[in-house]
Amino acid sequence: MAGVAGPMLRRSKFQGARFLAGLWVGGMVASALLATVAFGLGSLASWLLPPLVRQIAAGVVLVGFAVADLAAKTPHIWRQVPVQYLKTMPPGKLGVVWGFDLSLLFTTQKSTSLTWAALTGLVLLAPSASWLTLCGMTTGGC
């Protein structure tokens, strides 16, 4: 979504930079929140279920997502970050709101189940990697 900053940067480098900084801040806050939930759920799953059960469950869920993708039934909400924000919010606030919304991962359209596969893997197989993975995705621009 950093591409939205292109026109802003052409008009005003300061406004474009504020948008990009806000996008990063909002994304990191949402990623940290989501990572905390993933870590908590994953820790609970690790405490309740033996590793083999978690591995089998992850495999079943991942196959389910693959089947959904092949059937063009990728689970997602038919929604995007509202474009009217672009016209009504100042660049810094727009970036924070947009970054937060996008990094929640649940609130926008998906073309594949890779997001859900990654979350499944984090929760069931590697909850301790939640913060690094999700915040890294935001930092890396995924």
Q: Which domain holds residue 45?
A: 19-140
Residue with the larger pLDDT of the pair 75 and 4: 75
Q: Determine if residue 29 is left, alpha or beta; phi over 0 gives left, psi from -120 to 50 gives alpha, anything else beta.
A: alpha
- CA-closest candidate to residue 77, choices 110, 104, 31: 110
pTM across the whole model: 0.82
Query: What are the residues whose beta carbons fall under 8 Å from the beta carbon of 16, sequence distance 6 or more?
Result: 5, 6, 8, 9, 10, 91
Give start and end residues of each alpha helix (H) in 49-84: 51-70
Model pLDDT for residues 52-110, shown as the tens digit of each residue: 999 999 999 999 999 998 998 887 777 776 777 778 888 889 889 888 888 887 777 77
Q: Other C-beta atoms within 10 Å of 38: how many?
A: 23
Residue 7 domain-assigned? no
Residue 11 domain-assigned? no
Residues 69 and 67: their CA atoms lie apart, in Å, by: 5
Residue 36 domain-assigned? yes
Residue 10 domain-assigned? no
Residue 90 DSSP SS3: coil
Residue 67 domain-assigned? yes
Residue 6 domain-assigned? no
Residues 123 and 1: their CA atoms lie apart, in Å, by: 26
If you search the block for the tokens 């301790």, which residue do you land on? Answer: 128
Model confidence at 6, pLDDT cuts 50, 70, 90, reads: confident
Our count of domains for the chain comes to 1
